[in-house]
Amino acid sequence: MKIGIVCYPTYGGSGVVATEIGMGLAELGHQIHFISYKRPARLISFHENIYHHEVTPVDYPLFEYTPYESALTSKIVDVVKYSNLDILHVHYAIPHAIVAYLAKSILQSEGINIPIITTLHGSDITLVGKDKTFSPVVTFSINQSDGVTAVSEHLRNETLNNFDITKEIKVIYNFIDFKRFHWTNKNHFKKMFAPENEKIMVHISNFRKVKRASDVVKVFKEVHDRLPSKLLMIGDGPERPNIERMCREVGLCHEIRFLGKQDAISEILAISDVFVLPSANESFGLAALEAMACKVPVISTNIGGIPEVNIEGVTGFLSDVGDIEDMARNTLKILENPELHESFRNNAYLRAKQFDLKKVLPIYENYYLEIIENYKISI
């Protein structure tokens, strides 16, 4: 198949998932065409069967805001026509689903037909999509898609409960590529951060308010008061300056390292003892799954799709949003009991294996073929 993939090329979950799907399908022999405003972050080297088409909006003085959607629409039309795509898969509803619908309409006017699949990832539904400014567009574009998927049962239910959706939504969970994320012995590397063999807690996010990164610091302080420990904060975003100030206020700057955005995430996770995810909203919890693939137990909140990934008392613990004491207590329960810690590490890995990319790719392949066949019948 020749597959077009439209996504945000960033470190966010939707961009990561879209890129990993494309790379995995390319290895199976499919021809993949990424369409985005820059090369996807995870697409860091040359891959056979993969092409990237950069969207370059026109910067014209008349426009106060550069019309990216129009440029993206034109680029999709161009790629579909001249690369002879069989299907277009757009990730994140806003604005990609409505742009895909417009591109499809233009192509149909020229006698070219192509089915569209929209994958919903989370905040495009639970946060941005609920805004009255976007809600009608989100509803229309989902209903006009030929296939719709969601990354968790929670997100599927949220979509059906908050929008007037007439389309069937298929749940295809996010996944983990075990060629990229796996545990290896990195004790020599661990000494860089924990020279006295302190326990290492880790958090990865885009530092938006919804991630509640300040709660990570609060939990760490409670743990650090009881147990020699270090905290690694990976990622960047609008809340980072506030979190850094908070670290200074509690006097823990020497125990907390802000590492910024990292490509070698698995190497850092491999030396970590506990992963902390205190988010106020997560439709799946991809960062938690990546940690689990590296044998790191997860301390998380119990909201959204996280309980579909992190199993209470098996791979980690779940707490209410903002319950610092419970998260700290659960962290200490794991770190102070070597046998329990080892059990959780192994359980986390086994749970992550259930989301192996090798198991998920055939689901996408079959879904593409199903949508293509149904579309041919409908026209």
Q: Kindly state whether residues 202 and 348 are assigned to the same domain.
A: yes
pLDDT at 114: 97
222 and 169 share one domain: no
Q: Which residue in 330, 335, 361 sits closest to 21, CA to CA?
A: 361
CA atoms within 13 A on the CB side of 336: 11
Predicted local distance difference test score (pLDDT) of residue 184: 67
Q: Please check whether residues 192 and 171 belong to one and the same domain.
A: no
φ/ψ of 256, rounded to 5, equals -120, 130
Structural domains counted in the chain = 2
Contact 368, 119 (CB under 8 A): no
Residue 182 falls within a domain, yes or no? no
User: What is the extent of the structural domain holding 169?
Assistant: 2-175+357-378
Statement to judge: residues 363 and 300 lie in one domain: no
Same domain, 346 and 236: yes
Whether 268 contacts 244, CB under 8 Å: no
pLDDT beneath 70, residues of the chain: 11-12, 60, 62-65, 126-131, 182-187
Residue 147's domain is classified under what CATH number? 3.40.50.2000
Shared domain for 79 and 196, answered yes or no, is no
Residues 242 and 341 in one domain: yes
Angle, vertex CA 342, rays to CA 313 and CA 285, nearest 5: 50
SS3 (DSSP) at 117: strand
Is residue 181 situated within a structural domain? no
Q: Are residues 152 and 39 part of one domain?
A: yes
Query: Is 160 inside any structural domain?
Result: yes
Claim to verify: residue 45 and residue 168 sit in the same structural domain: yes
Q: State the sign of the Cα–Cα–Cα–Cα dihedral 81, 86, 92, 98.
A: positive
CA torsion sign for 66, 70, 73, 78 is negative
- What pTM value is reported for the model? 0.88
Residue 155 lies in a domain: yes
Phi, psi (degrees; rounded to nearest 5) at 35: -125, 110
Q: For residue 158, is it within any domain?
A: yes
Q: Tell whether 180 is covered by a domain.
A: no
16 domain residue, yes or no: yes
Q: Same domain for 199 and 299?
A: yes
269 and 170 in one domain? no
pLDDT of res. 275: 98
| pLDDT for residue 264 | 78
Triad 340, 342, 344: Cα angle to 5°: 70
Instruction: For residue 331, tell me if it sits in a domain.
Output: yes
CA-CA distance, 179 to 47, in Å (whole number)?
Answer: 15
Domain co-membership, 330 together with 269: yes
Q: Quote the radius of gyration of the chain (alpha carbons, Å).
A: 22
